[in-house]
Amino acid sequence: MAVLLSDLRPVYVVGIGLHRFQRATDTSFVDLGLTAVRAALDDAGVPWPEVETAYTGSTRLGMAVSRPLLRHLGVTGIAMTQVENASASGSSAFRLAVRDVAAGFADVAMAIGVDKAAPGLRAETLTGISPLDEGLTTPPVHFALLAEEYLRSRGAGAEDMARVALKNHNNAADNPFAHRQQRRTLEEILADRPIAGALTRLECCPVGEGAAAVVVVSEEGMRRLGIDPARAVRVLSSAQQSEQLYGTRSYDAELTGATTQQALTEAGVSVTDVDIVELHDAFAIEELQYLETMGICAEGAAPSCLRDGEFAIGGRVAVSPSGGLLAMGHPIGPTGVGQIAEITRQLRGEAGVRQQPDARLGLAHLVGLGAVCVVHVLAAPA
Amino acid sequence: MPTPLLPLRGIHCERCGHVATPVQHFGCESCGAHGADVADRPLTGEGTVLGAVTVHRPGGETVRIGSVHLQEGPMVRALLAADVVAEDRVRATETDAGLLFVRGDH
Ligand SMILES: [Zn+2]
Is the Cβ pair A149, B75 closer than 8 Å?
A: no
Q: How many CB atoms lie within 10 A of CB A75?
A: 11
* Residues B32 and B50 placed together within one structural domain of the fold: no
Q: How many CB atoms lie within 10 A of CB A62?
A: 10
* Residues B24 and B50 placed together within one structural domain of the fold: no
Judge residue A76's burial from the number of C-beta atoms within 10 Å of its C-beta, 0-12 exposed, 13-18 middle, 19 or more buried.
middle
Smallest CA-to-CA distance from A177 within A349, A337, A39, A328 is with A328
Average pLDDT on A136-143 reads 94
Backbone angles phi, psi at A296, to 5 degrees: -65, -35
B residues 6-65 lying closer than 8 A (beta carbon) to A: 8, 18, 21-22, 24, 26, 29-30, 50-56, 65
Confidence band for A133, pLDDT divided at 50, 70 and 90: confident
pLDDT one-digit tens code per residue, A267-284: 999 999 999 999 999 999
Collapsed DSSP state (helix, strand, coil) of residue A247: coil
Helix or strand holding residue A319 (H, E): strand A318-319
d(CA A50, CA A379): 25
Mutation target to probe the A interface, by most A beta carbons within 10 A, among B24, B26, B55 is: B55
Per-residue confidence (pLDDT) for residue B60, from 0 to 100 = 87
β-strands A276-278, B9-13 pairing = unpaired
Report yes or no on B89 lying in a domain: yes
Q: Compute the mean pLDDT over every residue in chain A, rounded to the nearest whole number.
A: 97
Query: Using CB atoms, which residue from B8, B24, B86 is nearest to A148?
Result: B86
Report yes or no on B3 lying in a domain: no
Confidence band for A130, pLDDT divided at 50, 70 and 90: confident
* Residues B76 and B89 placed together within one structural domain of the fold: yes
* Residues B23 and B72 placed together within one structural domain of the fold: no
* Residues B26 and B70 placed together within one structural domain of the fold: no
Report yes or no on B84 lying in a domain: yes
Ligand 1 centroid to Cα of residue A251, in Å, is 19
Report yes or no on B1 lying in a domain: no
Ligand 1 centroid to Cα of residue A10, in Å, is 42
Q: Whole-model pTM above 0.95?
A: yes
- At position A274, the amino acid (one-letter code) is V
* Residues B99 and B61 placed together within one structural domain of the fold: yes
**pLDDT cut 70: percent of chain A above it:** 100
Adjacent-strand bridge partners of B49:
B68
* Residues B57 and B26 placed together within one structural domain of the fold: no
* Residues B54 and B88 placed together within one structural domain of the fold: yes
Average pLDDT on A81-109 reads 98
* Residues B65 and B95 placed together within one structural domain of the fold: yes
d(CA A59, CA A65): 10
Per-residue confidence (pLDDT) for residue B100, from 0 to 100 = 96
DSSP secondary structure, B46-61, as one string:
EEEEEEEEEEE-TTS-
Report yes or no on B63 lying in a domain: yes
Instruction: Give me the domain span that covers residue B69.
Output: 46-103
Q: Could you give the domains of chain A?
A: 5-119+207-233 (3.40.47.10), 138-176+236-379 (3.40.47.10)
Query: Using CB atoms, which residue from B21, B30, B86 is nearest to A152?
Result: B86
Residues 6 or more apart in contact with residue A112 via CB below 8 angstroms: A33, A36, A37, A54, A55, A56, A57, A66, A69, A70, A93, A211, A212, A213, A337
Using a CB-CB cut-off of 8 Å, the residues of chain B touching A193 are 56
Confidence band for A233, pLDDT divided at 50, 70 and 90: very high
* Residues B55 and B89 placed together within one structural domain of the fold: yes
Adjacent-strand bridge partners of A283:
A204
Report yes or no on B82 lying in a domain: yes
Evaluate whether A36 touches A10 at the Cβ level (below 8 Å): no
* Residues B79 and B36 placed together within one structural domain of the fold: no
d(CA B7, CA A101): 55
Per-residue confidence (pLDDT) for residue A74, from 0 to 100 = 98
Report yes or no on B4 lying in a domain: no
| Total domains, chain B | 2
* Residues B57 and B81 placed together within one structural domain of the fold: yes
Mutation target to probe the B interface, by most B beta carbons within 10 A, among A141, A148, A242, A283 is: A148
Q: Per-10-residue mean pLDDT for chain B, 106 residues long?
A: 83 97 96 96 97 92 96 96 97 93 84
According to DSSP, residue A354 is labeled: G
CA A334 to chain centre: 8
Is the Cβ pair A145, B65 closer than 8 Å?
A: yes
